Each structure stands twice: as C-alpha cells, then as structure tokens.
Amino acid sequence: MIYTKTSREIELMRESALSVSKTLALIAEYIDEGITTKKLDTLAEEYIRDNGGIPSFKGYGGFPATLCLSVNEEVVHGIPGNYVLKDGDIISVDCGVLKNGFHGDHAYSFKIGNVKPEISKLLRITKESLYIGIEAIKTGNRIGDIGYAIQNYVEKEGYSVVRELTGHGLGKSLHEEPSVPNYGKRGRGSKITEGMVLAVEPMINLGKKNVRQLPDGWTIVTADNMPSAHFEHNVAVINGKPEILSTFDLLEEVLRKRGMDIS
C-alpha cells in the first residue's frame, strides 16, 4: 500500500531529511585520508542523538551501525569498521534519521584525495542522473518514468544500473511502497500521486551491472570489483511537481571550504 502524506506530514519529513543533511555535513568536516569508517559512524551517531534524532539504520533488520559506508567496489550497505580511508578512494555515506515519527534517508558519494578521472566522472554522472530522475516525478507520470530517465542517461555514458537494489517510498517506515527502480520503461509502474514521498537513489557501476553480497550478510559489491557510485535524495510530490526535502548544499559548502573536489 502506498501512503501519501499531508502538507503537515511533509513538513515534518522535511525536518527529518534536514537532520540527515546536517549529519552528512558533519561527516564532510572529518572525512579524509587516515580516518576509519568506524570513527565516521561514531561521529554520526553522537550527532544524531545529541540533536533529538534516532539513527534509522541501527538495528534495522539487525544492521549494526548508524551509517552505511561503502568504499570503492562496495555498492551499498557497507558496515563501518577498521578500514582506513586512503588517497583515491570513493565512499558512499548513506544515513537515516527518525525524527517527528518520520524517517529521512539520503546518501552522498565522497572523493578521498586524488581520484582517477574516470571514477570522478562516474560520480558526476551518477549525481546528475539523480536529478534527471527527480525531474520525472510529477503527477500523471509513473514510477517507470523515473527509472527510464536514470537508466537512459547513465547507459549513454557506458555505465550500468544495479538491478537488485532500488529506491523506495519513505515515511513512518524506512522502506515503504512503491519500490523505485533505477531502470525501467516509460508509462509502467505505480502512478505518481500528490503527497507521495520517495527516496530516489541511483546505484551506478563503472563496469557491469552484476553484484554479489559479502559473507557479512550486508555489504553489496560489484561482481567485477569495479567502482560503484551512489547518491540519494528524498522527494515529495507537491502541487503535482517534485520538491527535494533533503539537500547536498550543506555538505558541499563544507567540502568547498576544505578545498576538496566536488566536481
């Protein structure tokens, strides 16, 4: 069942989304060569709880951490640990916050030091595909229009779309209907309706689309061990059009001040 939200509920969800955005901005202050993924996770959990939120991911289905931190060939659901970030890495930081009874959930892929040009381009195209997908969120369209827009854009660049993992509805539950694949056909799937709130999150691989799960039961990696990028926004349908409730502006401002590459 698809749950649409009232204007009041969307405003509460905007607060939840902003809590995630602020947490990602905090991570942007510390993320660099030499830091462990566990340290980033600890910083995020402390910040979320100190600001009246609850980490959405911790304990969800048994997940042991606040952040999903996925490095290089890891697509999503990476578990924070003793891995030390190094020059040339990319890392998807996926965060969820429960606040006001609603979840915020979005992600950003960061570059560590000097990233190879072909990998830097993968991140740029993936982020651009997120906004292209969001443009298709309007009443009268269907969920397949979102996936088609993303798939068409990234495949023209020679990249591939992960099939096993999708975006989703968002609200009082972290994952609600409908599923929002990053591939598809125009005019297929559920109708996009007023008050819908979606988490749109392209997961795009430099190599082939195939993925596998690691023995930890969580981490998804590319089957060919090529890098993967991941960006996510929370989007509400308001007056028939998409409105992004989350923001990357806060974290990108931090990265600019630190002289880090966001191109």
* Residue 60's CATH number: 3.90.230.10
In a domain, 229, yes or no: yes
In a domain, 213, yes or no: yes
Residue 263 pLDDT more than 90? Answer: no
In a domain, 172, yes or no: yes
Residue 261 pLDDT more than 90? Answer: no
What is the pLDDT averaged over residues 239-263?
96
In a domain, 263, yes or no: no
What DSSP letter does each residue of 110-160 carry, written as one string? EE-SS--HHHHHHHHHHHHHHHHHHHT-SBTBBHHHHHHHHHHHHHHTT-E
Q: DSSP label at 187? A: T
- Cα–Cα distance list, 40 to 28, 66, 82, 238 (Å): 10, 10, 11, 34
Domain count, the chain: 1
Q: Report how far Cα 87 is from the mean position of its chain's Cα atoms.
A: 22
The continuous run of DSSP H or E covering 51 comes out as: none
Which of 120, 150, 145, 108 shows the shortest CA–CA distance to 132? 150
Residue 96, Cβ density class (10 Å: 0-12 exposed, 13-18 middle, ≥19 buried): buried
Residue range(s) defining the domain that contains residue 99? 7-257
Q: Compute φ and ψ for 203, nearest 5 degrees.
A: -120, 110
Q: Compute φ and ψ for 157, nearest 5 degrees.
A: -90, 0
What is the pLDDT averaged over residues 200-211?
98
The continuous run of DSSP H or E covering 200 comes out as: strand 197-200
CB 221 within 8 A of CB 75: yes
Which of 104, 103, 80, 42 shows the shortest CA–CA distance to 247? 104
In a domain, 212, yes or no: yes
The reported pLDDT for the residue numbered 262 is 87
Residue 64 pLDDT more than 90? Answer: yes
Residue with more model confidence, 250 or 263:
250
Rounded distance between C-alpha atoms, residue 104 and residue 17, angstroms: 4
In a domain, 69, yes or no: yes
Given the DSSP bridges, would you call strands 90-99 and 67-71 parallel, antiparallel or unpaired?
antiparallel
* Residue 33 neighbours by CB under 8 Å, 6+ apart: 85, 86, 87, 112, 113
pLDDT tens profile 80-133: 999 999 999 999 999 999 999 999 999 999 999 999 999 999 999 999 999 999
In a domain, 141, yes or no: yes
In a domain, 2, yes or no: no
The reported pLDDT for the residue numbered 190 is 96
What is the pLDDT averaged over residues 50-74?
98
pLDDT tens profile 1-49: 999 999 999 999 999 999 999 999 999 999 999 999 999 999 999 999 9
pLDDT tens profile 153-195: 999 999 999 999 999 999 999 999 999 999 999 999 999 999 9
Q: Compute φ and ψ for 147, nearest 5 degrees.
A: -60, -40
